Amino acid sequence: MSLAVVVVAPTAMLAPAAADDATIVFGAALAATGRDAREGALTKDGYEFWKDYVNAHGGMKVGGKTYKVDIKYADDETNPQTAARLVEKFIDQDHVNFILGPYGSANSASTAAVVERKKIPMVEGNGSAEKIFSQGFKYTFAVLSPARRYLEGILEMALAQKDKPKTVAVVAANDAFSLEVAQGASDYAIAHGLKVVYNNKYPADTTDVSSIVSAIKATNPDVILNGGHLQDALLLQKGFKEQNVAARIFGYSVGPDTPDFRKTLGSVAEYVYGGTQWSPTAKYKGAAGFIGDSKTYAAEFEKKYGHVPDYHNAESTATCLAFQYAIQKAGSLDPLKVRDALQALDVVTFYGILKFDSRGINVYKPMAVNQIQKGNLVTVWPTGVQNAKPAYPTPDWAKR
């Protein structure tokens, strides 16, 4: 008896947030604590921006009826196990209509298994490892370009320069996302006649990369690429400076885009390239129903949150947009109908095209390349969206 009280009490205390008739409720398990707390907050801002925009513009019309939208959040502690449990709770306990994805590939993978079982569609914008989609899941969709494409743009740009690089060093954190980034980069390099002179990985929570820096220096590469996360990018870039490592290009999958990178490194961050899912200079003409161009999105976002949106913010907003257009097209909140509409989705937004292949991955959207020039983040590739020319090659450390 006492058991039943203990176990059920915490659950019973929750007022079941059963979606009332006029509200579409989404559930999102996002890290508020743990390693990805920062990225979790960026994701949440992206979601909230969309929610407030839609509600301020009269809500969503679905099948002749107008709905407000609401998003329930919970802290997944950067733990895939917790994320899965939370999503299950959203669906069974809170009866949310749909799931917005968590941050990170591992958490996306564990929650994908849950929504598949519950047959509730999930769109995510922050888990780009293709491994998530290798299981034939039918209810998970990702609006972002897959991990292996993160650094391709940098190589493509490098090959278009006058004095082309010849050798590449690739180093990655040992996790699903980073390894796919590195694999994609080295595959692309080899396919385009570049020589990969160094290809290695390090533990995901490393605190000292000086040995890796020494080893890369010994191979004297023209291009140095890293698949990893913000903390590793900071350590590596500092390490390159400390050991005077010269290269024409320093490129990172995650890092240069975040304001933290520039703030923390100061002048050491100059000339660094980063692959990016989206840039405020992107020139897409989005469909009606939401802010259609990147410039307005960036301005509105900055007005609200006090900083220019980075690509985590934008891809999170785009995650919600995929639902918005799919639900409107389905004309229903029925999970299966919305799933089918997502699979058939083909719409251009401020963030780029939203369209999924049979696995649920958005392979149709190109990546862009950013560079830090004089303390500012500018977009240098592809030429169609650039607002500055690439500053190539990177000069010696003494001249930065």
Partner 1 sequence: MEAFLQILVNGLLAGGIYAVVALGFSLVWGIMNIINLAHGAYVMMGAYIAYVLFSSFHLDPFLSIPIAFVVMFAFGYGIQRGAINYVVRAPILVTFLLTFGLSLLLVNVALLVFHGDIKGITTSYNGANFSLGNVVVPIAKLATLGAALAITGIMQIFLTRTKTGRAIRATSMDIGAAQLSGVRVAHLYGIVYGLGAGLAGVAGVLVSLSYSLQPTMGDPFIIKAFVVCVLGGLGSVEGALVGGLVYGIVDAIGSQYIGTGLSDAVALAVLLIVLIVRPTGIMGKATA
Partner 2 sequence: MAATAPPSRVTRAGGITGNRTVFAIACGLMVLFLLVPLAHNGYLENLVRGVLMFATLAYGWNMIGGYTGYVSFGNVVFFGLGSFTSAALWQHFQQQNVLVAIVASCLVAVVFALVFGIPILRLKGHYFGIATLGLSIAIQEVIANIDWLGGGSGFTVRQIEPFQIYYYAMWGVCAASMAATFFVARSKFGYALVAIRENEEAAAILGIDATRMKVLAWAISGMMAASAGAVFAGANGFVDPPTAFAIDNNVFPIVMTILGGVGTAAGPLVGALVLTAINETLWTHFPQIHTLFFGAVIVLVVVFLPRGVLWLLSLRGGIAGYLASVKAYRV
Dihedral, CA atoms, 333, 142, 313, 276, nearest 10 degrees? -160
Give the one entry of partner 2, partner 1, none that residue 391 binds, where binding means its C-beta sits below a cut-off of 5 to 8 angstroms depending on kind: none
Q: Which is nearer to partner 1, 94 or 270 (CB)?
A: 270
Min. distance of Cβ 296 from partner 1 in angstroms? 26
35 burial (CB, 10 Å; 0-12 / 13-18 / 19+) is middle
Q: Which is nearer to partner 2, 62 or 209 (CB)?
A: 209
Strand partners, 168: 196, 223
Q: Which is nearer to partner 2, 31 or 338 (CB)?
A: 31
Task: Report the Cα 160 to chain-centroid distance in Å.
Answer: 26
| Amino acid at residue number 64 | G
Q: Which is nearer to partner 2, 73 or 350 (CB)?
A: 73
Min. distance of Cβ 211 from partner 1 in angstroms? 5
Give the one entry of partner 1, partner 2, none that residue 388 binds, where binding means its C-beta sits below a cut-off of 5 to 8 angstroms depending on kind: none
Min. distance of Cβ 274 from partner 1 in angstroms? 15
How far is 294 from 201, CA to CA, in rounded Å?
35
55 burial (CB, 10 Å; 0-12 / 13-18 / 19+) is middle
**Residue given tokens 């958490």 in the structure block:** 107
Q: Which is nearer to partner 1, 274 or 335 (CB)?
A: 274
Min. distance of Cβ 129 from partner 1 in angstroms? 18
How far is 147 from 78, CA to CA, in rounded Å?
19
Min. distance of Cβ 127 from partner 1 in angstroms? 18
List of residues contacting partner 1 (CB under 8 A): 33-38, 40-41, 171, 174, 200-203, 205-208, 210-212, 214-215, 218, 230-231, 234-235, 238, 241-244, 258, 260, 263-266, 268, 397
Min. distance of Cβ 292 from partner 2 in angstroms? 34
List of residues contacting partner 2 (CB under 8 A): 3-4, 6-11, 13-14, 32-33, 73-75, 77, 79-81, 84-85, 88-89, 91-93, 106, 109-110, 112-114, 117-118, 129, 131-132, 134-135, 173-176, 178-180, 201, 203-204
Give the one entry of partner 1, partner 2, none that residue 375 binds, where binding means its C-beta sits below a cut-off of 5 to 8 angstroms depending on kind: none
Give the one entry of partner 1, partner 2, none that residue 93 binds, where binding means its C-beta sits below a cut-off of 5 to 8 angstroms depending on kind: partner 2
Min. distance of Cβ 308 from partner 1 in angstroms? 15
Give the one entry of partner 2, partner 1, none that residue 230 binds, where binding means its C-beta sits below a cut-off of 5 to 8 angstroms depending on kind: partner 1
Q: Which is nearer to partner 2, 1 or 398 (CB)?
A: 1
Give the one entry of partner 2, partner 1, none that residue 55 binds, where binding means its C-beta sits below a cut-off of 5 to 8 angstroms depending on kind: none
Beta-strand pair 98-100/122-124 = parallel
Min. distance of Cβ 166 from partner 2 in angstroms? 29
Q: Which is nearer to partner 1, 26 or 202 (CB)?
A: 202
Give the one entry of partner 2, partner 1, none that residue 73 binds, where binding means its C-beta sits below a cut-off of 5 to 8 angstroms depending on kind: partner 2
Give the one entry of partner 2, partner 1, none that residue 110 binds, where binding means its C-beta sits below a cut-off of 5 to 8 angstroms depending on kind: partner 2
Q: Which is nearer to partner 1, 215 or 287 (CB)?
A: 215
Among residues 330, 300, 369, which one has the least CA distance to residue 153?
A: 369
Min. distance of Cβ 240 from partner 1 in angstroms? 9
Tokens of 97: 């209509």
How far is 276 from 252, CA to CA, in rounded Å?
10
Query: With b meaning 16 or more CB within 10 Å and e meaning fewer, what string describes 330-366?
Result: beebebebbbbbbbebebebbbbbbbbeebbbbeebb
Min. distance of Cβ 31 from partner 1 in angstroms? 8
Tokens of 338: 């919305």
Give the one entry of partner 1, partner 2, none that residue 118 binds, where binding means its C-beta sits below a cut-off of 5 to 8 angstroms depending on kind: partner 2
